[in-house]
Amino acid sequence: MRQFLLFFRKEMLEMGRSFKWLWVPLVFLMLGIMQPVVTRFMPVILESSGNMPKGMTITIDPPSGMEVMAQTLGQFNSVGLMILVLSIMTLISGERQSGVSQMIFAKPVSYLSYAAAKWAIMLSLVTASFVLGYAGAWYYTVQMIGSVETAAALKAALLYMLWLWFTGSLTLFMSSLMNSAAGIAFVSLGAAILLSMASTWLPRYAYSPGFLPEISVQWLQASEKPTGDLGAAILCLMCMIFFFMIAAYQVKIRKSNV
């Protein structure tokens, strides 16, 4: 426990000094705010661009607050996911590659504490960034578009956060297996995108963490409430534990690279 805190404190310090604690949450906040703002001003922007034939009026049904929230999740799932993977991809591989790990692991340290601190910092960054971005989107949607149903929005947020945790765990898992940063990002992002795309082909009874973004969007939009969220959430948590165990083992058997 003491070593976990030591490792965690070091990770916090590193993320602070590399400005990650500032820019990752800020980017999520921007992503969250931009969607309602852009939606609100879309008719104005189209009108003022002025290449419409005279007399033609555009009639866009103003989207509901819930729809805009769903679109925000869509933003998080593309740009947000990429930012997330890129900001944590070298968390484990970096120290092994540079050689610092040689000095760390020559000391009587616990590999489990080491891996746990990596997971804890990842979860902290992901949670803080997402909560900030989602809260921003919520506030702006209420201010500019329309009302948001509290219970549904909270449930959607919870399920979506699980999905981000899953992707973060997947990235750390790849980081424990591979050395090249580009490779880690490519495989993690690829796998996450594939999983969430597969949710449209797979039958509903197959529980996959990839269903989570889909389910949370449905919580916001669909008239009938989705099913299978519990199964997907449980499977997602199990995958995270599995990734963590393998990564901790990898840290133990591959202490350094140089």
Partner 1 sequence: MDTINSSIPWSLIMPIIVLQLILAVVGLVSLYKAEAIRGPKWLWVIIILCGNILGSVAYFIIGRKDAS
Partner 2 sequence: MTRTLLQVRDLSKRFREREVVKGITFSIAEGSCAALLGPNGAGKTTTIRMLTGLLQPSGGSIKLLINGSPTTDRRPYIGFLPQMPVFYPWMTGAEFLLYAGELAGLTNREAKRETGEWLEAVGLRDEGKRRIGGYSGGMKQRLGLAQALIHRPKLLILDEPVSALDPTGRKDVLTLLQRIRRETTVLFSTHVLHDAEEICDEILMIRSGAIALQGSLEHVRRTHSEPVIRLEVGEDEASRSWLTAACSKNFVIHSEVSGRRAKLRVENVEQASLALMADAASRRIMIRSLEAGRSTLEDLFLKVVQS
* 26 binding partner (options partner 1, partner 2, none; Cβ < 5 to 8 Å by kind): partner 1
| String marking each residue 38-67 x if it binds partner 1 according to CB under 8 A | ---x--x---x-------------------
Distance between CA 170 and CA 229 in Å, rounded?
20
| Residue choice 8, 12, 14, 162 for contact with partner 2 (CB under 8 A) | 14
H helices present in the chain, as ranges: 2-17, 20-49, 65-75, 81-88, 93-98, 100-105, 111-144, 150-177, 181-201, 211-221, 229-253
Give the position of tokens 């750390």.
172
| Residue choice 26, 112, 128, 246 for contact with partner 1 (CB under 8 A) | 26
Distance between CA 165 and CA 162 in Å, rounded?
5
- Binders of partner 1 among residues 137 to 156 (CB under 8 A) are 140, 143-144
- Binders of partner 2 among residues 85 to 144 (CB under 8 A) are 98-100, 102-109
In the numeric block, which tokens belong to residue 197?
A: 């795309």
* 37 binding partner (options partner 2, partner 1, none; Cβ < 5 to 8 Å by kind): partner 1
* 107 binding partner (options partner 1, partner 2, none; Cβ < 5 to 8 Å by kind): partner 2
**Count of chain residues binding partner 2 (CB under 8 A):** 21
Helix axes 150-177, 229-253, angle to 10 degrees: 20
Report angle CA 167, 168, 171 to the nearest 5 degrees: 85
Largest CA-CA distance found in the chain, in angstroms, rounded: 78
Sign of CA dihedral 175, 180, 185, 191: negative
In the numeric block, which tokens belong to residue 145?
A: 């578009």
- Binders of partner 1 among residues 174 to 233 (CB under 8 A) are none
The residues that touch partner 2, with contacts defined as CB under 8 A, are 3, 6, 10, 13-14, 17-18, 98-100, 102-109, 253, 255-256
The residues that touch partner 1, with contacts defined as CB under 8 A, are 18-20, 22-23, 26-27, 29-30, 33-34, 37, 41, 44, 48, 83, 86-87, 90, 94-95, 97-98, 100, 140, 143-144
